[in-house]
Amino acid sequence: MSASDISRAAQIKLMIFDVDGILTDGSLHFGPDGEMMKTFNVLDGQGIKLLQQSGIATAIISARKSPIVSKRAADLDIAHLRQGIHDKKAAFLELLAELHIAPAECGFIGDDVIDLPVLSRVGFAASVPNAHPEVKARVHYVTQASGGRGAAREVCDFILKAQGKYEQALAPFLA
């Protein structure tokens, strides 16, 4: 991580997450009735909650639409959920207008080429080690952890540390 990465993360007011390959490992599981199932990581969820408790808004923009993602977003109090979005840039620009936030104040973590239109516009762009090579080449930060295995938490912690909010976020757990 460079001083530039830290400076970029220090500006974040909104962190946006892709789902498949970021909040999950990218695998799609189908039940006998065709119902899609996904596995989420609790560390990632706690990281998202810590961001929110530290005054950083959170959002999801996902190309797929799934009731399980709606449920996970509700569990995590993610108010800004955009699913079934194939034009992620348009959804991103709508979020900016809705929340009155500049692109430089946004972070996004994604893993595939569909995410590039957003990754190229945010102040802090992140990805995972198992992302498409074109994505990894164009982001500011690549996590150590893989998607669905703590990558989102790693980014959340990085942002909190860059903003000097990490110790305060952990304080309730250390009392």
Structural domains for the chain: 3-169 (3.40.50.1000)
Cβ–Cβ < 8 Å for 90, 96:
no
For the cut 90, the answer to whether the pLDDT of residue 175 exceeds it is no
Cβ–Cβ < 8 Å for 114, 132:
no
DSSP codes of every residue in 96-126: HHHHT--GGGEEEE--SGGGHHHHTTSSEEE
For residue 115, say whether it is annotated as part of any ligand binding site.
Answer: no
The count of C-alpha atoms lying within 13 angstroms of the C-alpha of 157, restricted to the half-sphere facing its C-beta, is 13
Q: In degrees rounded to 5, what are phi and psi of residue 54?
A: -95, 10
Distance CA 167, CA 175 (A): 12
Per-residue pLDDT tens digits for 29-76? 788 887 777 889 999 999 999 999 999 999 999 999 989 999 999 999
For residue 111, say whether it is annotated as part of any ligand binding site.
Answer: yes
**pLDDT, the chain, mean:** 94
- The predicted pLDDT at position 22 comes to 97
Report residue 105's pLDDT band, with 50, 70 and 90 as the boundaries.
Answer: very high
- The predicted pLDDT at position 1 comes to 67
For residue 77, say whether it is annotated as part of any ligand binding site.
Answer: no
What are the Cα distances from residue 111, in Å, to 43, 56, 143, 174?
A: 19, 22, 11, 34
